[in-house]
A and B are shown apart, each in its own frame.
Chain A
Amino acid sequence: MIEVRDLIKQYDDRVAVNKISFSVKKGEILGFLGPNGAGKSTTMKILSGFMPASAGSAKINGYDVEKEALQAKASIGYLPENPPVYMAMAVEEYLVFAARLHGVHKTKANTAARDAMDKCGITDVRHRLIGNLSKGYRQRVGLAQAIAHNPPVLILDEPTVGLDPKQIIEIRNLIRSLGGEHTIILSTHILPEVQATCGRVVVIDHGTVVAEDTLDGIAARMQSNVRVTLGLQKNPEDVLAKLQAVQGVTALSKTSKNEGEPFTVHVECAKGFDVRSDLAKICVSADLGLLTLNQEKLSLEDAFVRLITVDENTKEL
């Protein structure tokens, strides 16, 4: 349904998107995950036809977004970063206008607007001016605009920004319910959002794809890495050096607290090592006052942070 091949977007002084390729199958919900400034919005703007790519191609519903722009645009519902709403228009009036812009016939535009308002829970504000609505409501009006003409493909750029927690859950449920019938790309820098809505995720950073997998797949790849947390009573200065001596330890960090107070040390270790008993031995023999020792698996959140903060030696995680 969506085919992106070697997409490049070059600005005067920097490359915002560097050879991104991915594809989305019909009915799939793809999470587009990355930190701020990673190139998510740029990619979405290219897909929506808002701006041209410098090189590479993107196809929506079989139509090239540049060469067959009108057909491609007709297949898309797009919610940009800033909802494209007219402050001086009433909600319903705006949605009818947006639906008609997207080719919905005059006689059906009212029904389309009403359905979209229903789905997004904004029927009760239908007669109010958008400019008088809160940010969360405006966001929902923007989302309603994207789905009003019932497009096969939805491109949603950070759809839950500015919503309160209850609204976030509602919108995520809505997006999940739209999947299957619609093909959806959803960008976000909030990991739980992806966990809650998407079947597959593309992680991008600095304009390149750093991972593309199912949620479970990415989590599984990360879970071979283990983190051990030590709670220690004493805090001699050379504590990290001592623990570093254990075979398999790759990284250490401690919460800095005053000497003598209990504190925590995070120990990360390489695949295939169980360092717990060795750590315990050292703690006891050095009389560090071992209080707790926990092994935890890296969460998806950690995996995400690791993916986008990789340096050369840890790239093969």
Chain B
Amino acid sequence: MQNMMLIAKRDLKMYFISPIAYIIIAVFLFLMGWMFFNLLSYYSQSLQQFGAISYGQKPTLSENVIRPLYGNMNVIMLFIVPFITMRLIAEERKDHTVELLLTAPIRSLDVILGKFLSGFALLAIMLSCTLIYPIMLFYLTKPDWGVVLGCYMGLLLVAATYVAVGLFWSARTENQIVAAALSFGTLLFLWLISWAAHRAGPVWSDVLNGFSIVGHYSNFSEGVIDTTDLVFYASAIGFSLFGAKLSFDTSEWG
């Protein structure tokens, strides 16, 4: 526990000593700000149109701003996380500092969990910067807090899963680019896996949907917390971290 925190703190600090954290957070917030601005102005435009003609359904804030905003955040995280996780273990291998970790009297699980926590903490810090949007909405209008909370909870779980998968690939190589490419490929595939579900027959479509990272997020974005989704993310994280630990243990490098 103590060792885990020691590793987590050091790695988190490394993100902020190097420009990585600032650049990633700045890029993320720039893109999100642009999206928020456009979603909001489009929403107010459609509200005015609705007021003028009073026809059809009134556009809701949740449907037109909050859900798309956080859905897009999820997509952008998919692109960003491999850049965050690629260095976690691959860099230690490349710089031979992994020898310090492997010859210190600490459990490899502590190393893996510490690394995982540092990546997750960076994403949590990044996500907390986006709290400004719901706070603004709160002053402007009446957002549905259940949806906002559900979205954040879902995003945190998704972020943790992305980090775990990225960490797994980082543990398998000493090349950061390879780690990033494989993480990105895996995550995107888990995102797109449900595409084949329509044509796969009843059983397989359930299986494919069951593995979909985005499918399990959708309930959260409705403000609904389903234990199935929690179990999915928990097992995806557990499985990836266990794989990362195995790679870290059994690898003989140099």
B-binding residues in A (CB < 8 A):
48-52, 70-71, 73-74, 76, 78, 80, 82-89, 97-98, 100-103, 145
A87 to B18: give the CA distance in the assembly, Å.
Answer: 11
Which of B95, B96, B103, B107 is the one whose CB lies under 8 Å from A49?
A: B103
Q: In the assembled complex, which residues on chain A have CB atoms less than 8 Å from the CB atom of B103? A: 48-50, 73, 76, 78, 80
Q: How far is the CB of B98 from chain A (nearest CB, A)?
A: 8
Contact A84 B10 (CB under 8 A): no
Contact B96 A88 (CB under 8 A): no
Subset of 18 A-B contacts with CB under 8 Å = A49-B102, A50-B99, A70-B107, A73-B104, A73-B105, A74-B105, A76-B103, A84-B97, A84-B99, A85-B95, A86-B14, A86-B95, A87-B95, A88-B18, A97-B10, A101-B100, A101-B106, A102-B104
* B203 at the A interface (CB under 8 A): no
Q: In the assembled complex, which residues on chain A have CB atoms less than 8 Å from the CB atom of B102? A: 49-50
Residue in chain A with minimal CB distance to B7 = A101
CB-CB nearest 7 A-B residue pairs: A84-B100, A74-B105, A73-B105, A82-B96, A101-B104, A48-B103, A84-B99
A98 to B106: give the CA distance in the assembly, Å.
Answer: 12
Q: In the assembled complex, which residues on chain A have CB atoms less than 8 Å from the CB atom of B95? A: 84-87
Which of A70, A82, A87, A101 is the one whose CB lies under 8 Å from B101?
A: A101
Which of A78, A86, A101 is the one whose CB lies under 8 Å from B3?
A: A101
Contact A98 B105 (CB under 8 A): no
A80 to B106: give the CA distance in the assembly, Å.
Answer: 18
Q: In the assembled complex, which residues on chain B have CB atoms less than 8 Å from the CB atom of A50? A: 99, 102-103
Contact A84 B105 (CB under 8 A): no
A89 to B92: give the CA distance in the assembly, Å.
Answer: 13
Q: Which of B221-254 contact A (CB under 8 A)?
A: 252
* B1 at the A interface (CB under 8 A): no
Q: How far is the CB of B90 from chain A (nearest CB, A)?
A: 14
Q: How far is the CB of A185 from chain B (nearest CB, A)?
A: 14
Contact A101 B17 (CB under 8 A): no
Q: In the assembled complex, which residues on chain B have CB atoms less than 8 Å from the CB atom of A84? A: 95-100
Contact A98 B107 (CB under 8 A): no
Contact B104 A80 (CB under 8 A): no
Q: In the assembled complex, which residues on chain A have CB atoms less than 8 Å from the CB atom of B104? A: 73, 98, 101-102
A88-B14 contact, Cβ under 8 Å, with A51-B252, A70-B107: yes
* B76 at the A interface (CB under 8 A): no
A103 to B104: give the CA distance in the assembly, Å.
Answer: 9
User: Number of residue pairs across A and B with beta carbons under 8 Å?
Assistant: 58
Q: In the assembled complex, which residues on chain B have CB atoms less than 8 Å from the CB atom of A76? A: 103
* B125 at the A interface (CB under 8 A): no
A244 to B168: give the CA distance in the assembly, Å.
Answer: 68
* B26 at the A interface (CB under 8 A): no
Residue in chain A with minimal CB distance to B104 = A101
* B200 at the A interface (CB under 8 A): no
Residue in chain B with minimal CB distance to A9 = B252
A70-B105 contact, Cβ under 8 Å, with A88-B17, A97-B10, A101-B3: yes
A279 to B158: give the CA distance in the assembly, Å.
Answer: 87
Which of A70, A71, A80 is the one whose CB lies under 8 Å from B99?
A: A80
Which residue, B14, B101, B105, has most C-beta atoms of chain A within 10 A? B105
A49 to B10: give the CA distance in the assembly, Å.
Answer: 23
Which of B6, B14, B18, B98 is the one whose CB lies under 8 Å from A101?
A: B6
Residue in chain B with minimal CB distance to A101 = B104
Q: How far is the CB of A76 from chain B (nearest CB, A)?
A: 7
Q: In the assembled complex, which residues on chain B have CB atoms less than 8 Å from the CB atom of A100? A: 6
Which residue, A51, A78, A84, A88, has most C-beta atoms of chain B within 10 A? A84
Q: In the assembled complex, which residues on chain B have CB atoms less than 8 Å from the CB atom of A86? A: 14, 95, 97
A76 to B99: give the CA distance in the assembly, Å.
Answer: 13
Q: In the assembled complex, which residues on chain A have CB atoms less than 8 Å from the CB atom of B3? A: 101
Known: A89-B14, A101-B104. 7 other contacts (CB 8 A): A49-B103, A50-B99, A84-B97, A86-B95, A88-B14, A101-B6, A103-B105
Contact B105 A80 (CB under 8 A): no
Residue in chain B with minimal CB distance to A142 = B100
A98 to B3: give the CA distance in the assembly, Å.
Answer: 11
A97 to B2: give the CA distance in the assembly, Å.
Answer: 12
A48 to B101: give the CA distance in the assembly, Å.
Answer: 11
Q: In the assembled complex, which residues on chain B have CB atoms less than 8 Å from the CB atom of A80? A: 96, 99, 103
Q: How far is the CB of B4 from chain A (nearest CB, A)?
A: 11
Q: How far is the CB of B147 from chain A (nearest CB, A)?
A: 41
Which residue, A50, A100, A102, A103, has most C-beta atoms of chain B within 10 A? A50
A137 to B18: give the CA distance in the assembly, Å.
Answer: 22
Q: In the assembled complex, which residues on chain B have CB atoms less than 8 Å from the CB atom of A85? A: 95, 97
Q: In the assembled complex, which residues on chain B have CB atoms less than 8 Å from the CB atom of A87? A: 95
Q: How far is the CB of A219 from chain B (nearest CB, A)?
A: 34
A84 to B3: give the CA distance in the assembly, Å.
Answer: 18
Q: In the assembled complex, which residues on chain A have CB atoms less than 8 Å from the CB atom of B96? A: 80, 82-84
What sequence of 0s and 1s flags, for each residue 1-23 of chain B, a beta carbon within 8 Å of any chain A beta carbon? 00100100010001001100000
A76 to B17: give the CA distance in the assembly, Å.
Answer: 30
Residue in chain B with minimal CB distance to A47 = B103
Q: In the assembled complex, which residues on chain B have CB atoms less than 8 Å from the CB atom of A71? A: 105
Q: How far is the CB of B23 from chain A (nearest CB, A)?
A: 15
Q: Which of B167-187 contact A (CB under 8 A)?
A: none
